[in-house]
Structure 1
Amino acid sequence: MSRSVRLVPAVAALLVLAVTGTACDSGARGAPGGSGAGDPYFPKAGNGGYDIGHYSLALDYTPAGRRLTGTAVITARATRDLSAFHLDLSGLRVDSVRVEGEKARWSRSGQELTVRPRAGLSKGETFLVTVRYSGTPRTLTDPDGSREGWLPTADGALALGEPVGSMTWFPGNHHPSDKATYDISVTVPKGLQAVSVGEQTDMSTKNGRTTYRWQAAQPMASYLATVAIGRFDITRTTGPHGLPVVTAVDPGQAEASAEVLAKIPEILDWAEYNFGPYPFSSAGAIVDRPRDAGYALETQTRPFFPGPPDVSTLVHELVHQWYGDSVGPASWRDMWLNEGFATYAEWLYDEDNGGPTAQETFTSLYEEGPDDIWAFPPARPSGAAHISDSPVYQRGAMVLHKIRRTVGDDTFYDIVQGWAAAHRHGTADTADFVRYVERKAPGKDFRTIWKDWLYGDGKPAHA
């Protein structure tokens, strides 16, 4: 996410009246899975007892009535014996739930859709869940005033999901620790387009409606999924090593966006040199109207921008593909591993392209930066509403610069490239990073960096 335009939200408190679905035989073995993943800032996000491997989402949306009809086929594996399990789904009406093709009992309470299969699920068992749902998807207003979830636009809709907005348009395990591959099909009135993540695999029109099919073949956290519906100028080019680059731009933003979006291949090439091989099978961008959202977001393979981005914001969101998307946070407490890396990449890009050096940027922030940089340590945000405040971005980048100064450039780039490779398509937390740095630079003393810069309160006494 771009630090210059948004503070990432805390989850809004939502309450949905409990609804009970089709009654089926109970007597399932095991115990219910957890109704949350235990995140320190979003305890109800995600669920326990299973891992999702794949989502197949079939969506049908009519902007005129803002009506969404969806079918989610979820492939999951039980990590314990389960008599029931939870899915996150905010709003929308559940029409039916099946597990392994059989009707299942289900109930609703808040964002929890509790599913009780006819027979229990054994630890290690792979199972299919099919949820049919419909209604008007919600836009969530977060405590910091930003909006996420399903956002109606002038000519369609936009789905943005950090941290929990994806649960407004499909049921799932909505915590960054559970990644999956995706097939997403979106049917819209003829004349509109539907852009998503990964690669477009098909498009067909029938009875006045067009279906667009997209596939994300590499694992993705649900908050990084997106659908943009509307009218777009779509351009297909190539990046490093023939990488497909797909940009979708609102026609009204096309002229102003053209010059900066043309830099995507060059920026990806620069990023590969610094951070290692690009981790996905396509790249690109979505540019919609400035009023459609108030922030940029690193949606996987195809970052979203509200209006034409500047170069720094484009660099930030593209480098997130390495740090934040491929190497994901184990919990929302670890956001600095996303935003500190992407912010430091801006500093490095400036340094390599005639701008201030990273040291000059660091010194300027330390000596003249706003006081809010020191409001809390980057590894301990002061609550869910603050996981994308300035300390997570700017002070997080300062931690990386301190590491660079301690180990020298050769070892530093070994660290950042190795970190991206070691956790490619996985998740990691701050403790993992600390251990990794210390292992890659034996004999170096990082105690002051960890104590004063990563975990310490207030402005460190010495730069």
Structure 2
Amino acid sequence: RKIQADVSIALAAARPTRKLCFLLADSCSLDRIKYLGIALPIKISPACPGLNLLSAVLPIRAEAGEKIVVNIIYSWEVPDQGGRSLQLPPDTHWYPFSPLPQNYTCTLNVITDESMRVLGPGEFRGVKPAGTRVCNQWTSDIPFRGIHMAAGDFLRTARPTEPPLEVAYPRKYLNQAKAIANYCEELMGFLAEKLGPAPFPSLNTVLTDNPQPLVSSSFYMTSISAGALEQLKEENPGKDRYVRQYKLLAQSLAHHWLKDNLAVSHPRERWCLEGLAEYISWLAVEAKYGKAIREKFLLEARERILAAPKISLCKGANIAGGQLPQWVVDKAGWMLWICHCLAGEAFLPSIRENLALCRGTAPAPAEFFLSLGKIAGCDFSQVYKAWCQSKNQLRIEVAAARNFQAEDGQWQLVFNLINS
């Protein structure tokens, strides 16, 4: 499938400049960048694996605060995904973006065959004729980041959640879609209780017929391929696959509160948000299926951590390009589990309060744990040093154990917990 794009970007100059820079997937072929109808001189250079840096020079200098509108025209070939559905998640970098934390409104117009249903960010504004085809329009007036689009021969089902939830699916996946919708309805309530009110006005969960195992999320949408569900079925026979599916949905939906909502100053700092989504998914599984199932996920995560390179969590997150290594997410989840054990019942209310203070931008991980500890009444600084900045894995030993009788006559047990 070949896709042609004509993107209009409105931005304000932070300081006087003649140079504009954008990042775009290197699979995209740039035609031109226009300003006031004039084609600008451009330079294309590799930025990092999978991304090109597009540099354009304005004919005159833009002053600080001046509004600039440019048009970027480009095209690309979407590899055959093995089904009729098409999904374009933000992490494929199919649209021009800035390396700085993003926050923008968006209007998305998609011209396609009349038989295709298009899903995009924000509110659906309807379908208009476009020659022999039709134009679907989606608009978000709320600033967000991460443009996510899906198209296919979809049906849909809705659930009476707050905010509204819809699940789109190909007809042949009706049973799977109903199960996913029921799970998502449960999880929306659970996540609101643990993380606070949903930051998004609506949510679409899309099941595509792509046979490859792909799961992606953005502020407004989660897309799950049929291949991802089939992989869970093959690797987890019997009822266990439903537990895994529930955990997958819990983690994906938690991202809408966390990494898809809160900007980070650098990609290496997103491990904290992804680790929290992982940990919340363990709690969701425990709430539905019991403590033993949650402990099973903890043990599986520990095995992956022990099998990983013996480097610090911070270094593992820093060298990662694109998706974080699973062991980094696992170790972050384990760290939050330790903090929960230390803080007890104060932990989850502290998480909610800490997130409420973020206001669209996540603090650096060290600041997050410092603030979390203050709210919970615990000092997590040593936990952060031992679990994030050191090479220690999850080889935990109890040392220097001793007991004594307190003034009230109660016996107390004291010991050192060593993570090596």
- TM-score with structure 2 length normalisation? 0.80
Partner residue in 2 for 1:257: 177
Partner residue in 2 for 1:294: 213
Partner residue in 2 for 1:384: 320
Q: Is the strand fraction higher in 1 or 2?
A: 2
CA shift at 1:449, angstroms? 0.7
C-alpha distance in structure 2 between counterparts of 1:288 and 1:376, whole Å: 37
C-alpha distance in structure 2 between counterparts of 1:236 and 1:359, whole Å: 29
* Closer/same/farther in 2, CA of residues 373 and 253 from structure 1, 3 Å limit: farther
Q: 2:103, 2:144 within 8 Å by CA — same for their partners in 1?
A: yes
C-alpha distance in structure 1 between counterparts of 2:71 and 2:281, whole Å: 43
CA shift at 1:459, angstroms? 1.5
Q: 1:419, 1:436 within 8 Å by CA — same for their partners in 2?
A: yes
Query: Gaps (5+ residues) in structure 1?
Result: 1-65, 140-150
Give the letter for the 1:429 counterpart: A
- One of 264, 267, 284 as aligned partner of 1:349: 284
Does structure 1 residue 230 correspond to structure 2 residue 152?
yes
C-alpha distance in structure 1 between counterparts of 2:28 and 2:375, whole Å: 49
Q: 2:122, 2:139 within 8 Å by CA — same for their partners in 1?
A: yes
Partner residue in 2 for 1:160: 89
Write the mapping of 1:335-414 to structure 2, written as runs, cut at 5 A.
Answer: 335-356=270-291, 360=295, 364=299, 371-372=306-307, 375-381=310-316, 383-385=319-321, 387-410=323-346, 412-414=347-349
C-alpha distance in structure 1 between counterparts of 2:148 and 2:27, whole Å: 18
C-alpha distance in structure 2 between counterparts of 1:454 and 1:264, whole Å: 32
SS in 2 for 1:205: strand
CA shift at 1:333, angstroms? 0.8
Does structure 1 residue 124 correspond to structure 2 residue 124?
no
Deviation digits for residues 173-211 of structure 1, max 9, x if unmatched?
2x3722222211111022112222222121123433121
* Closer/same/farther in 2, CA of residues 295 and 69 from structure 1, 3 Å limit: closer
CA shift at 1:103, angstroms? 4.3
Partner residue in 2 for 1:12: none
Partner residue in 2 for 1:70: 5
Give the letter for the 1:249 counterpart: Y
Q: 1:375, 1:457 within 8 Å by CA — same for their partners in 2?
A: yes
CA shift at 1:152, angstroms? 4.3
CA shift at 1:316, angstroms? 0.7
* Closer/same/farther in 2, CA of residues 446 and 170 from structure 1, 3 Å limit: closer
Q: 1:88, 1:113 within 8 Å by CA — same for their partners in 2?
A: yes
CA shift at 1:138, angstroms? 5.5
Deviation digits for residues 122-166 of structure 1, max 9, x if unmatched?
223232122223x33356xxxxxxxxxxx645325321332xx22
C-alpha distance in structure 2 between counterparts of 1:219 and 1:246, whole Å: 21
Deviation digits for residues 78-118 of structure 1, max 9, x if unmatched?
22221212112334443442335554332333412211111
Give the letter for the 1:306 counterpart: S
Give the letter for the 2:110 counterpart: V
Partner residue in 2 for 1:184: 108
C-alpha distance in structure 2 between counterparts of 1:262 and 1:368, whole Å: 32
- Identify which range, 268-277 or 335-344, moves more after superposition: 335-344
C-alpha distance in structure 1 between counterparts of 2:200 and 2:220, whole Å: 7
* Closer/same/farther in 2, CA of residues 96 and 214 from structure 1, 3 Å limit: same
Does structure 1 residue 104 correspond to structure 2 residue 104?
no
C-alpha distance in structure 2 between counterparts of 1:262 and 1:273, whole Å: 17
Give the letter for the 1:338 counterpart: L
C-alpha distance in structure 1 between counterparts of 2:288 and 2:161, whole Å: 19
CA shift at 1:436, angstroms? 2.0
- One of 360, 369, 384 as aligned partner of 1:450: 384
Structure with the bigger RCO (C-alpha within 8 Å, sep 6+) is: 1
Deviation digits for residues 422-454 of structure 1, max 9, x if unmatched?
224334332331332244245x33233112112
RMSD of Structure 2 on Structure 1 (CA): 2.7
CA shift at 1:377, angstroms? 3.2
Q: 1:333, 1:387 within 8 Å by CA — same for their partners in 2?
A: no
Deviation digits for residues 285-309 of structure 1, max 9, x if unmatched?
0111242x43311222210111275
Query: Gaps (5+ residues) in structure 2?
Result: 47-51, 230-244, 397-417
Q: 1:238, 1:245 within 8 Å by CA — same for their partners in 2?
A: yes
- Identify which range, 366-375 or 334-343, moves more after superposition: 366-375
Q: 2:305, 2:331 within 8 Å by CA — same for their partners in 1?
A: no
* Closer/same/farther in 2, CA of residues 386 and 72 from structure 1, 3 Å limit: closer
SS in 2 for 1:304: strand
Give the letter for the 2:53 counterpart: E
Q: 1:336, 1:396 within 8 Å by CA — same for their partners in 2?
A: yes
- One of 202, 223, 231 as aligned partner of 1:304: 223
- Identify which range, 251-260 or 309-318, moves more after superposition: 251-260
C-alpha distance in structure 2 between counterparts of 1:255 and 1:367, whole Å: 34
C-alpha distance in structure 1 between counterparts of 2:203 and 2:151, whole Å: 19
Partner residue in 2 for 1:266: 186
* Aligned residue pairs, count: 374
- TM-score with structure 1 length normalisation? 0.73
C-alpha distance in structure 2 between counterparts of 1:212 and 1:366, whole Å: 43
SS in 2 for 1:417: helix
C-alpha distance in structure 2 between counterparts of 1:171 and 1:366, whole Å: 36
* Closer/same/farther in 2, CA of residues 298 and 424 from structure 1, 3 Å limit: farther
* Closer/same/farther in 2, CA of residues 317 and 302 from structure 1, 3 Å limit: same
- One of 261, 280, 283 as aligned partner of 2:200: 280
SS in 2 for 1:384: coil
Deviation digits for residues 232-255 of structure 1, max 9, x if unmatched?
112234312xx2212211223222
CA shift at 1:394, angstroms? 1.3
Write the mapping of 1:427-438 to structure 2, written as runs, cut at 5 A.
Answer: 427-438=362-373
Give the letter for the 2:86 counterpart: A
Q: Is the helix fraction higher in 1 or 2?
A: 2
- One of 7, 10, 19 as aligned partner of 1:84: 19
* Closer/same/farther in 2, CA of residues 234 and 386 from structure 1, 3 Å limit: closer
Q: 1:399, 1:449 within 8 Å by CA — same for their partners in 2?
A: yes
Write the mapping of 1:22-33 to structure 2, written as runs, cut at 5 A.
Answer: none
CA shift at 1:281, angstroms? 0.5
Does structure 1 residue 170 correspond to structure 2 residue 95?
yes
SS in 1 for 2:77: coil
Who wins on radius of gyration, i.e. which is larger?
Answer: 2
Give the letter for the 1:323 counterpart: L
